[in-house]
Amino acid sequence: MDQVKFNSEAMHIKDHSSKHLSQETVKKLINQSQEAKKQAYCPYSKFRVGAALLTLENKVFTGCNVENACNNLGVCAERTAIFKAVSEGYRNFKAIAVASDLEDKVISPCGGCRQVLREFGSNWDVYLSKPDGSYVKKTVEELLPIPFGPEDIAMKKVDISHEC
Ligand code: THU
């Protein structure tokens, strides 16, 4: 029962493409992700990542990676930002900017983060940036094609009642 409630809740999340974001807004969002990167707790990898997530309401939540001595407990910057926003009541997102220290390559979200972004819609934008502020824009859908998402949970399934 709880699961059904959760599904209908998840299905109300709308896609908000940020095609209309001004260059200035994009630049600001990338700057905010670079600032967030400075908070990275990454004594093991020494790989700093920052994220800045723009909500439909134009609120920005930032995040950094937070590693742990028990290494599988670490969390990525993108997920920190998403979890901060969701825990504050924000679920509709226009865009997220991600920053790292990679000089010659834009930072690309890991598979797990792509799935977490996809939970909140497929048609919104991810700005993959370099330290010089240059970026590549991708939609969540482009980063995670053929996804498994909340709508799949709600789809018709074969009858398993005789097995339960
Ligand atoms: N990391 C992120 O925070 N986001 C990404 O998009 C890629 C990887 C973190 C996880 C870990 O703390 C460090 O970077 C090295 O993998």
Alpha-carbon span 96 to 124, nearest angstrom: 8
**pLDDT confidence band for 6 (50 / 70 / 90):** very low
How far, in Å, is the centroid of ligand 1 from the Cα of 161? 42
Mutate to test the pocket of ligand 1, among 34, 44, 45, 72 (most ligand atoms within 8 A of CB): 45
Domains annotated for the chain, with CATH where assigned, are 4-153 (3.40.140.10)
**pLDDT confidence band for 1 (50 / 70 / 90):** very low
pLDDT in tens, 94-110: 999 999 999 999 999 99
pLDDT higher than threshold 80 for residue 51: yes
Q: In angstroms, how far apart are the furthest CA atoms of the chain?
A: 60
Q: Which two tokens stand for residue 41?
A: 């707790």
Q: Which residue has the higher pLDDT, 1 or 50?
A: 50
pLDDT at 13 (0 to 100): 53
